[in-house]
């Protein structure tokens, strides 16, 4: 028999796969946590073209990877390649976190909704979801995570508008009668009376067109958040703040959604704090 006690033990590897991936802040984020906790592990960006996704996922556990994050354009495709899919990932139709289990199976999860809610709870601790309607702009993958999280939190009416109305109608069909669809042309009007407003589109991001939704109906004290975090304060948030709203930027969602994966891969639940924000923004 071979004596295994002196066999080399490799530092656990994790990473983020996407195409492209150079823009990702996840390596800086996880690198900060690894250094803080003195963990002998590594987190690396992995550019993976769609046609190579299945081959790469099969090879990663044999290379010492314990898991990875998944970003555009692979978040939907990995579900068909996973052996185990959590209920929330199935509901979202997408995964952002993979765990490579010791038995060789790939476990797929979606922590975007968790990240969204944890960001709100951290930066707006007095927010109460059931005091009035929520309004969501957009109906893509990120919006689906937001809708599910808000409904789970107790929002009694969720208004949604998207440039392509059909996508918003699909969300209503899946999530039920608490979701009320509005035309994109009337998106400004649906903000009236809302106590929570979310931009879940990419509009307002650096390099993207601005979000051209009138905010006249926003009431002071409304919680307004933007999933975009480049720039950190979008024109949407700046105008909402000028109208007396409570604003929460989108960076915290990125930070909080990362914590469950890090814990599963490296065995420690990391803190999301100001040091982490500073490291990611540096």
C-alpha dihedral over 2, 267, 30, 141, to 10 degrees? 110
pLDDT tens digit string along 238-271?
Answer: 999 999 999 999 999 999 999 999 999 999 999 9
What pLDDT, on the 0 to 100 scale, is given for residue 5?
A: 40
* Residue 2 scores a pLDDT above 90: no
Domains in the chain with CATH codes: 13-109+255-281 (3.40.50.10860), 113-248 (3.40.50.720)
Rounded average pLDDT over 152-170: 97
| 53 in a labelled binding site | no
| β-strand partners of 197 | 135, 224
> Known binder of ligand: residue 87?
yes
pLDDT, tens only, 122-144: 999 999 999 999 999 999 989 99
**204 labelled as ligand-binding?**
no
Q: Which of 21, 83, 28 is nearest to 48 (CA)?
A: 21
Model confidence at 6: pLDDT above 50: no
Is 141 labelled a binding residue? yes
The residue annotated as part of the active site, out of 74, 75, 144, 264, is 75
121 a known binding residue?
no
- Whether 105 is catalytic is no
Does 163 carry a binding-site annotation?
A: yes
pLDDT reported for residue 10: 73
> Is 170 labelled as part of a ligand binding site?
no
pLDDT at 9 over 70: no
Q: Is pLDDT at 8 greater than 80 in this prediction?
A: no
The pLDDT > 70 percentage for the chain reads 97
């Amino acid at each position: 028999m071979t004596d295994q006690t002196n066999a080399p033990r490799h530092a656990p590897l994790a990473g983020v796969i996407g195409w492209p991936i150079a823009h990702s802040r996840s390596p800086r984020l996880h690198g900060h946590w690894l250094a803080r906790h003195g963990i002998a592990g590594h987190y690396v960006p992995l550019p993976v073209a769609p046609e190579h996704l299945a081959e790469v996922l099969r090879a990663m556990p044999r290379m010492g990877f314990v898991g990875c994050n998944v970003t555009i354009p692979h978040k939907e495709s990995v579900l068909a390649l996973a052996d185990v899919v959590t209920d929330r990932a199935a509901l979202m139709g997408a995964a952002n976190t993979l765990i490579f289990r010791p038995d060789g199976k790939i476990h797929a999860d979606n922590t975007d909704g968790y990240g969204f809610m944890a960001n709100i709870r951290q930066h707006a601790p007095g927010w109460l979801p059931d005091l009035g309607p929520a309004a969501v702009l957009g109906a893509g993958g990120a919006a689906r995570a937001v809708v599910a999280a808000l409904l789970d939190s107790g929002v009694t009416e969720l208004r949604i508008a998207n440039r392509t109305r059909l996508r918003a109608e699909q969300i209503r069909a899946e999530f039920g009668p608490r979701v009320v669809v509005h035309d994109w042309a009337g998106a400004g009007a649906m903000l009236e009376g809302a106590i929570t407003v979310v931009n879940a589109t990419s509009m307002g991001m650096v390099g993207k067109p601005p979000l051209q939704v009138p905010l006249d109906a926003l009431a002071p004290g409304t919680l307004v958040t933007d999933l975009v975090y480049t720039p950190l304060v979008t024109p949407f948030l700046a105008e909402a703040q000028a109208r007396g709203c409570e604003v929460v930027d989108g960076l915290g969602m990125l930070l909080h959604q990362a914590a469950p994966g890090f814990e599963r891969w490296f065995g420690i639940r990391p803190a999301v704090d100001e040091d982490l924000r500073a490291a990611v923004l540096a």
